Amino acid sequence: MTERSPLAPSGFPDLPAIPGVTPRVARARYKQWDRCDLTYVELAPGTSVAGVLTQSKCPSPEVEWCRKALVLGQARALVVNAGNSNAFTGNRGRAAVEAIAARTAAHLGCEPSDVFISSTGVIGVPLPVDKAEAGLDAAFAAETCSWEDAAATIMTTDTFAKAASTQAVIGGKTVNLVGIIKGSGMIAPDMATMLGYVFTDAAVAPEFLQAALNAANAHSFSCITVDGDTSTSDTVLAFATGAAGNAPLSDADDEGADAFAAALGDLCRQLAHLVVRDGEGATKFIAVTVEGAESDRSAHRIAMSIANSPLVKTAVAGEDANWGRVVMAVGKAGEPAERDRLSICFGATQVAKDGLAVEGYDEAPVTAHLKGQDVEIGVDLGLGDGRATVWTCDLTHGYISINADYRS
């Protein structure tokens, strides 16, 4: 594993167990590495599921499988393979997914459609069925593992295991939400990004769980980018076991629905930020906020144009307050903007206003801000009330090194 990201948290969080969720890990040996690479999570009968999936037109068979299974709204198991994405593998890839689902379903006595599957790693290499089945058999017999083990096992180029938790109170019952996630490169979503899994003991109907996840995703996973590339395998799934005993949430007007939705949104935002903090080669965590746009959607598109700009990202890596690159990124976004209304800030310091550099502004606090690990770029278009914040990281030589050597 490469050196731990300088933006990583100090340690793995203390996470509660979720009743009805039993994680296990095993070695399928998809690659020549000395670590577990298959995660198996058993879910209690009656568990609801929701998900958001990549909008890539070249999705993996795992994504296609999950897309069909999500319609049914129920889950009994999750299987995640690390080291091989099984994408762009034709009928052999589809057969591998079907074999994993069938073997897991036979073990649990459920339908194959109750089994959700993800794979991550190199594209274009069929997932070896013999290794998958041997890994599954080992996982079925394994002891329950920790959340840290589960989070570490789904990693590929990640430098640290990623997880978070939160709580909500529903009708007097405290419910817990735990999430694990992997992702470091090929991060730029349409609806979802990387591989992320949320588990809660709340009782939530599948339809409301899907609505809440869609809303949470819109302000978290769909607001991050590392390199502008959308994966073939991006998946976020949420599982609700109902073990907390709250009155089931089936509608946004139900008591506690707002609290649950807010907690889910908070958890997804925490997880999304962890992915950016592990961006390949990253040394800076960058928040880009665009205000004064004609609409929130327009603000989001402009913010992503800034966040995806290699020129902006390399300037931040070099701790250079080159706000001209921000102007460039605003102008190329294809959204309404007027040069002579545009204002730009780095941190708390305004460097440009009404289409001009701020006369005599002090660059010292800007330089100090850019030397920190957390960088803020603010843009005001002066056109309307639209607003959006997205998160990205800088672009360094480390990103090139990691991806130039990825298959070797």
Q: How far is CA 318 from the centre of its chain?
A: 27
Please give the pLDDT value at position 344. 97
Catalytic residues: 193
Who's near 277: CB < 8 A, 6+ residues apart? 5, 7, 8, 9, 285, 393
296-307 and 310-317 are packed helices; what angle lies between their axes, rounded to 10 degrees? 60
Helix or strand holding residue 285 (H, E): strand 285-293
What secondary structure letter does DSSP report for 406?
Answer: T
**pLDDT of amino acid 58:** 79
**Matching residue, tokens 């037109």:** 57
Query: According to the annotation, is 156 in a ligand binding site?
Result: yes
Q: What is the DSSP string of 319-385?
A: T---HHHHHHHHHHT-S---GGG-EEEETTEEEEETTEEPTT--HHHHHHHHHSSEEEEEEE-SSSS
What's the pLDDT score for residue 184?
67
How confident is the model at residue 157, as a pLDDT?
82
On whether 176 is known to bind a ligand per the annotation, the reply is no
3-state secondary structure of 81: strand
Query: Does the annotation list 403 as a binding residue?
Result: yes
- Determine if residue 408 is labeled as part of a ligand binding site: yes
Domains in the chain: ranges and CATH: 21-277 (3.60.70.12), 285-404 (3.10.20.340)
Q: Is 143 annotated as a binding residue?
A: no
Q: Comparing C-alpha atoms, which of 314, 296, 311, 312 is closest to residue 344?
A: 312
**CA dist., res. 205 & res. 88, Å (int):** 34
pLDDT value for 231: 60
Q: How far is C-alpha 340 from the chain's CA centre?
A: 37
Measured distance CA(406)–CA(84) in Å, rounded: 12
Could you list the pLDDT tens digit for every one of the 408 residues in the chain? 468 999 999 999 999 999 999 999 999 999 989 999 999 999 999 999 999 998 777 778 999 999 999 999 999 999 999 999 898 888 999 999 999 999 999 999 999 999 999 999 888 889 999 999 999 999 999 999 999 999 999 998 899 999 999 999 999 999 999 999 998 654 454 433 489 999 999 999 999 999 999 999 999 999 998 766 556 678 999 999 999 999 999 999 999 999 999 999 999 999 999 999 998 889 999 999 999 999 999 999 999 999 999 999 999 999 998 999 999 999 999 999 999 999 999 999 999 999 899 998 888 999 999 999 999 999 999 999 999 999 999 998 877 776 676 554
| DSSP string covering 14-53 | -----TTEEEEEE---SSS-SS--EEEEEEEEEEEEEEEE
> Which whole-number Å values give the CA distances from 243 to 48, 190, 329, 407, in the listed order?
11, 33, 48, 43
In Å, how far are 40, 179, 202, 224, 227 from 161, measured between CA atoms? 17, 11, 25, 18, 20
Asked if residue 349 belongs to a known ligand binding site, the reply is no
Per DSSP, what are the bridge partners of residue 343? 380
